[in-house]
Structures are given as C-alpha cells and as structure tokens.
Structure 1
Amino acid sequence: MDDVVRARDAALEALADIEPDYLRETLDDLLADAAVTPGVLSLVTARALDPDVDPDDVVDRAAGVQLIYEGLRLTRRLSHEEPWESAATAEADIDADMDVLAAEVLVSRGFSLLSHTGAAGAAVEVVRAFGRDQTQRNREGIAPEAAVALDRSLEVDALELAVVAGTTAVGGDPPAELLEYARELAADYDGEFPPPGRALPETTADRIADISDRAVSATDR
C-alpha cells in the first residue's frame, strides 16, 4: 500500500463511526478528492528517520494531521464564500450548515488522534494560528497580497505539523532545518497542494534523512 492510499484510508477509518450517515457521507466525500500531502509527509518523515518504523505506528498521526488540515481548509473556504448569503434554497442553506459541522468534526477528530502524542502541542498552535490569521485576513482594507499570504499560512503550518508528527513518532523532535524544509515544500505548492496521487517530490525522504543526519552530527560534536 502506498502512502497516499494509506493516509487517505486512515483518515476515512478515523471517521467511520460518525453519525448520522448523511454527515459521514459528507465527510467521506470531502476526503475522497482531497490532496493528502500533510498526511503523506508525516509517514515519509517517520520512515526517513527510521526505515524500520512500522507504518501502523504512524498512520493515526498521519490521519490526525490530515483531518485537522481538511477541517481548517473547509473553514477557510466557508469564511471566504459565505454560502448562507448566496444560498438560493433552503436545501443550499442546509448544505452550508452541514459543511460547518463537517469542518468541526474533522478538526475535533484530528485533535483526538494527536492528543496523546508529541504533536499535540503543535496541533493546538496550528488551530490558534489559523484563527489569528483569518481574523486578520478578514479585516476591512487589507491588501490583496497580504490576504493571500495569510491564507497560505495554513498550508505552511500543516506541513510543519506533519514533520512534527512524523518525527515524534520515532522518538525525536524535528530540528529547525527540518521545519524550514517543510516551509519550503509549502512554498513550492504556491498555496495549493497537488492533486491526489502526487503528494510529494521523490527526493523528500532523502532530504529529510540528510537534514536529520546533519543535525545529529552537529549535536555529537
């Protein structure tokens, strides 16, 4: 099983007990076409740092990262589109309400998966940063380029959380250079992660391993 399938399946499995069925189906639809770059990066990071790591020991963390990102991404879209103002029918209004509930469930379940891991604090900070950024972004008179930069912060924060989740899964903390690499990856995507099936560059694992080796060497001096 490749990392894209593993990350998506884990995220779907984490939501399997959600009721009512209509809400779970909404969540499943959101994840079916989602780019799973954050979840995949968690898996790749753990394996790059420890080639012997059991994927089953990391997959819940990957799902947690992915769900938090998807929930916040949906919240961002709803904040920008304000679908209640344009809803032409009662059904459209209900769909918008369902999306809000779905976003809350995604973030909540993601937190649950990360709450007892070394990535818990980082997950909290991602949500806090998102709230600050979107509050600032929605202020009147903000320059368009500033609004774009604030929106893109979510992708940066999601990939930083991913490397934290992957690193702590194998018993360590990410060095500053690894967090910087996560920010570089997010910048390369220009605010949007690639379509499903093309999650990360092929060199990602090698870069992560190299960064880790240099950090360990520097510590041993």
Structure 2
Amino acid sequence: MEQAESARRGAREALADIEPPRLADRIDSLLATASMAPGALVLLVAQRADPAVDPEALAERAAGVQLIYEGLRLTRTLAHEEPWADSEDQTAANLDVLAADILVSRGFYLLAMTDAADRAVETIRAFGRDQTHRRESEADRAALDANLEGDVLELAGVAGASAVERSVSPPVQGALDRLASRAEAPLPDAAALFRGTALLSGPDGHAPPSATDP
C-alpha cells in the first residue's frame, strides 16, 4: 500500500539522526515490522478531502502520528511484560525503554506546530490514565489497551483533515468513527484495516492515487 510505505519512509527519515547505532538499529527494526496504519491514515484522510494534495508535504504529520503510536505501543508492551524482571542482562529492555521515549517525543515534536497538537497531547495523557486504571483488579484490560489504537486513529484523522484545512465527507467520517470504535490492540496491516471502507475510493479496493502518480 503506497500510503503505508510513504509513512514508513517518513518515520525513518524523522529518526535519521538517532545515535548510537545500536539504538538506531533497534528503532529501525521496530519500524520495519510495524503496522503503518496510523501514518497511512493521515495520508488517506487528506487525499480524500483534497485529491490534489501532495503526500510528500504531509510526510512529517504522518510520521508524527506513527511515531507516537509506536512509542506508546512499545511502552505498553514493556509495562505488561516487564522484560527486565526475569533477566540479569537488562541491556535490551533498557534500550527499548529509551527507544519508546524517543519515538513519542520525536512524534510529538513533529506535530507540535500543527492543528493536531492538542489531540496528540490528549492521546498521550489518555494512554497514561488507561494504563493506570488497567492495574485495578476489575479493570477491562483488553478494552483499556485498545483505547490507544482508537485514540491514535482519531488523531490520524485530525492530522490528515487539518493538513488540507477541509472537512472530510460524511462517508469518510463514518469510516473513521467505526475504525476508532472497533479498534483492537495491536493494529493490523494498513491495507487490511482500511479494505472495504470509504477511505479507499476505487471499486477494486485500492487506495486513492497521489497527486504525483502518472
């Protein structure tokens, strides 16, 4: 899916200055296997609102949403699995803690001067609240975990629509609402998540073309 690959490239470019190499390699390995649904959704929403938009102009917004999700998702995994508890060598776990912090902070930096900044702050705060409530004995842990995916998809919708300063159509907004309300943790592959929705315009299920397509 073109939008997913664009989001992956943008995320990697946003982290090109990370040092040392071992940390950079760990982050790159996370991005290599991650679902690019959040970043791809930014591009899809913008393209549905304005088919003439250049996706390259949205690269930082897509990367910002994607990196916030990756960082919070990794934080959630670390909190649940506590990998340092059963191993004397805590190097890998400590590296992941650092990677998660970098992903979230860099993602927010990319969105800080956009109209999606406030929603990004609320997404991060909501994640913290949900993970705190998750420790309660009667908590619905699966639902609390999935709130992250729903919140990130909503953030992607805001980031995409605000980039072109246009409202999305009712069918697209309906698709966004359904995706967010039904989100599960973790997010699946972008193409699978969006297949059959109003976000993909063609009858063959392909994503809308970019402004740079021949």
Give the TM-score normalised by the residue count of structure 2.
Answer: 0.86
Q: 1:130 to 1:34 in 2, by over 3 A?
A: same
Residue number in structure 1 paired with 2:79: 79
Shift of 1:57: 1.5
Alignment of 1:118-129 (within 5 A): 118-129=115-126
Residue number in structure 1 paired with 2:23: 23
Q: Deviations over 1:192-221 (max 9, x none)?
A: 3223654522533268xxxxxxxxxxxxxx
Residue number in structure 1 paired with 2:61: 61
Q: In the alignment, which of 89, 94, 112 is matched to residue 91 of structure 2?
A: 94
Give the TM-score normalised by the residue count of structure 1.
Answer: 0.84
- Structure 1 window deviating more from structure 2 (194-203 vs 14-23): it is 194-203
Residue number in structure 2 paired with 1:153: 147
Mind listing any 5+ residue stretches in structure 1 that lack a counterpart? 208-221
Once the two structures are aligned, what percentage of the paired residues are identical? Answer: 49
Q: Deviations over 1:123-162 (max 9, x none)?
A: 00000000000000023x124xx11110000000000000
Q: Deviations over 1:112-133 (max 9, x none)?
A: 1101111011000000000000
Residue number in structure 2 paired with 1:211: none
Residue number in structure 2 paired with 1:219: none
Q: In the alignment, which of 135, 138, 142 is matched to residue 142 of structure 1?
A: 138
Q: Secondary structure at the match of 2:95?
A: helix
Shift of 1:177: 8.4
Q: 1:176 to 1:128 in 2, by over 3 A?
A: farther
Cα distance in 2 for partners of 1:179, 1:193 equals: 19
Matched-pair contact (CA < 8 Å) for 1:45–1:163: yes
Residue number in structure 2 paired with 1:7: 7
Residue number in structure 2 paired with 1:171: 165
CA RMSD of aligned residues (A): 2.2
Aligned residue identity for 1:113: L
- Structure 1 window deviating more from structure 2 (165-174 vs 17-26): it is 165-174
Q: 1:27 to 1:54 in 2, by over 3 A?
A: same
Residue number in structure 1 paired with 2:34: 34
Q: Deviations over 1:20-65 (max 9, x none)?
A: 1111111000000000101100000000000011111211101100
Shift of 1:186: 3.8
Q: Deviations over 1:92-119 (max 9, x none)?
A: x110011000000000000111011110
Matched, 1:184 2:209: no
Matched-pair contact (CA < 8 Å) for 1:34–1:196: no
Matched-pair contact (CA < 8 Å) for 2:3–2:40: yes
Stretches of 4+ moved more than 2 A in 1?
Answer: 172-183, 186-192, 195-199, 202-207
Larger helix share, 1 or 2: 1
Q: Secondary structure at the match of 1:126?
A: helix
